[in-house]
Chains A and B, each alone.
Chain A
């Protein structure tokens, strides 16, 4: 079974731009969560989607948004990029909301110049 895939793997943007990252969960998985990983703050939860609805949200500004499609694929968007948004963005999928295992993708490395 293919794992979680994320595209693109690397991205360079400039301040003020916006960016969209994509995540394809493991086949059959319906829950997708997004995390931001930085050296200073570590891994932080962004949001969770299940059945095309946002179920949980972390403590991030409204510039961070996401959505999930009917095939469970998910995208996250960051508008008006800031230097501090440079991070590894990780997507994780699980079969259900009450599953005790999440499987992470390789991440998208975003650099904001």
Chain B
């Protein structure tokens, strides 16, 4: 079993839909959770990060963490074609903040 599981999709939604992206993790020592977005032929860019359980909102994006279930989510409201990308969850391992373990990434396509 991988330490971080993420459904690779692909996920195809119409413009304006609410998108839910999810990851599960097995190591209860993980305390800090990140979401990266990666466009084709580009490096990942950090979208959001959160330390605690609960919700964190940034514009159309909401990150949600449920530590009791070891489950994290990223919600995208009013999705746009420009949101079409691969979304990766990531967590620092016990090696430190700069040693990240990533989910497989979910490919999202938002069609007009």
Contact = CB atoms under 8 A, between A and B. Distances in A.
Contacts of A58: 99
A11 interface: no
Interface in B74-112: 88, 90, 93, 95-105
Interface string B50-81: 00000000000000000000000000000000
Given A45-B99, A94-B98, A104 B44 contact: yes
B43 A105 contact: yes
A75 interface: no
Interface stretch (A62-70, A79-87, A95-103): A95-103
B43 A42 contact: no
A107 B42 CA distance: 7
Point out which of B32, B46, B88 has the most chain A C-beta atoms below 10 A from its C-beta: B46
A85 B74 CA distance: 32
Nearest to A41: B104
Interface residues of A, number: 27
A4 interface: yes
Contacts of A35: 100
Contacts of B32: 100
B100 A102 contact: yes
A33 B99 CA distance: 8
A90 B101 contact: no
Contacts of A33: 98-100
A56 B43 contact: no
Given A104-B43, A104-B44, A98 B96 contact: yes
Interface of B: 32, 36, 41-46, 49, 88, 90, 93, 95-105
Given A48-B95, A56-B96, 8 more contacts: A42-B103, A43-B90, A45-B99, A48-B98, A55-B98, A97-B97, A103-B46, A106-B41
